[in-house]
Amino acid sequence: MPKPTPTSKNSSSSSRSNGSSARFLWGIASGVVLAFGLIAYMAWGPSKDSEQVDELKQSNSAKVELKRDQLEAIQAVSFFPTIENKISEPDSAPSGMKWIPGGEFSMGCEAKNESLCGTPGTTMDTVPIHRVYVDGFWMDETEVTNAQFRAFVEATGYVTIAERKPTPEELPGVPEELLVAGSAVFQPTDTAVPLDQFLQWWKYVPGACWKHPFGPDSNLDGLDQYPVVHIAYEDAEAYAKWAGKRLPTEAEWEFAARGGKAGDLYTWGNTARIQDRYFANYYQGAFPIRDGDAASDGHAGIAPVKQYEPNAYGLYDMSGNVWEWISDWYREDYYSTLKATGKVAVNPSGPADSFDPQEPGQQKRVHRGGSFLCSDTYCNRYLLGTRGKGEIRSTSNHVGFRCVKVPEK
């Protein structure tokens, strides 16, 4: 096993064109790596009440939780009501999909506590809050499951990226014996480690792929209803095409996740828990230590789909469980570009190209929703409106996808 070398300390994924270490970082999806943060206090913008801002800035503690009225006051500044389309759902709803009416809404998140590997303020990719309109569509009510993906593979013979041996052209300089198919698998550490050293807990595992999620000796027995993982962008696209669907745009995904509400912090409202009840699968406890996942939400690690209540549109796991591929290219400044037009962005489909200042030159698409590895002390990107990103050939065991479908006109 080669020792991978990160291209930057904040690296979430790397590209084959980026050199010999790249393959070993691909699977490390950005949300986990990027969002080392202090979830417990929420952020504020310069337009907020100054007294409240000062008070909140002093609350720089990992365990401070704002009261609901404070949170709502903060969020209400930039968010305006969602205006759902009034058209009724078209006939012939596809099986396993929910109708999302579309309409106009405020998109983004002002939670500045999201950060890159414990470097607060490194990224501002979820602001400014801006107004967006999307047409109606259907969306898969769950992440695509192993059973669903198996049906696709059996029908088409498709071979995923993680199952393909990298070529010397893709990984120039890597010795032939190290060019092996595989994927990144989360492996908890024996002891506490600095949270900016993600290679301590992400390992490239030869033979890991969607049907061998923990390596060649693992299988999918009993996992039919778990989300499929170790999926690269083109794998997700191939499935969607076969299913007569497509991947969602980032605007579609966020409109759907918000469930017709405006500015909520979570897909279920503004309260993280209600009487110790959880509404999403993420990570509680000491990250990323072995047995550190306390599973207060009922699940240590990945969970089957539909374990938590759906959002207002009937969608499950729009927060947590596995990250979901989005069709938009990733650019940190995309929201600024849209806001600068002064207009409502109508059916935005992302920037024309990808640019991540953290890793220039890599081709990245957006990820959304966070995963079972998001934790209050490391990754808060299960918050509504937050963003992730992944090099398009990256795979790991906490990134999957779901699809959308647009009615025929």
Give one DSSP letter per residue of 84-97, joined into a string: E--PPPPSSPPTTE
Binding mask of the shown chain, residues 318 to 357, with x at each position contacting Ca ion by CB under 5 A: ---x------------------------------------
**CA separation, residue 171 to residues 15, 39, 216, 267, 361 (Å):** 9, 37, 22, 40, 15
Q: Is 369 in the site for Ca ion (CB under 5 A)?
A: yes
| Cβ atoms 121, 115 nearer than 8 A | yes
Q: Which is nearer to Ca ion, 1 or 294 (CB)?
A: 294
Least distance to Ca ion, CB of residue 109, Å: 16
Q: Is 248 in the site for Ca ion (CB under 5 A)?
A: no
Least distance to Ca ion, CB of residue 125, Å: 19
Q: If binding means CB under 5 A, how many residues of this protein chain bind Ca ion?
A: 6
Q: Which is nearer to Ca ion, 288 or 369 (CB)?
A: 369
Looking at beta carbons, which pairs linking 149-152 to residues 24 or more positions away fall under 8 Å? 149/210, 149/228, 149/231, 149/239, 150/211, 150/220, 150/224, 152/238, 152/239, 152/242, 152/243
Mark the segment that binds Ca ion (CB under 5 A) among 41-49, 262-270, 281-289, 345-353.
281-289
Q: Is 281 in the site for Ca ion (CB under 5 A)?
A: yes
Q: Is 317 in the site for Ca ion (CB under 5 A)?
A: yes
Site for Ca ion in 286-315 (CB under 5 A): 297, 299
Output the residue with the shortest Cβ distance to Ca ion. Answer: 369
Q: Which is nearer to Ca ion, 290 or 343 (CB)?
A: 290
Least distance to Ca ion, CB of residue 311, Å: 11
Least distance to Ca ion, CB of residue 98, Å: 15
Least distance to Ca ion, CB of residue 77, Å: 28
Across 305-378, the runs of DSSP E, i.e. the strands, are 323-329, 345-346, 364-368
The structure tokens listed for 332 are 């940190």
Q: Is 123 in the site for Ca ion (CB under 5 A)?
A: no
- Compute the distance between CA of residue 264 and CA of residue 256 in angstroms, rounded to an integer: 13
Check residue 320 and give left, alpha or beta (phi > 0: left; psi -120 to 50: alpha).
left
| Cβ atoms 323, 400 nearer than 8 A | yes
> Distance between terminal CA atoms of the chain?
53
Least distance to Ca ion, CB of residue 400, Å: 7
Q: Is 235 in the site for Ca ion (CB under 5 A)?
A: no
Q: Other C-beta atoms within 10 Å of 226: how many?
A: 21
Least distance to Ca ion, CB of residue 216, Å: 26
| Cβ atoms 326, 248 nearer than 8 A | yes
Residues found near Ca ion in the complex (CB under 5 A): 281, 297, 299, 317, 321, 369
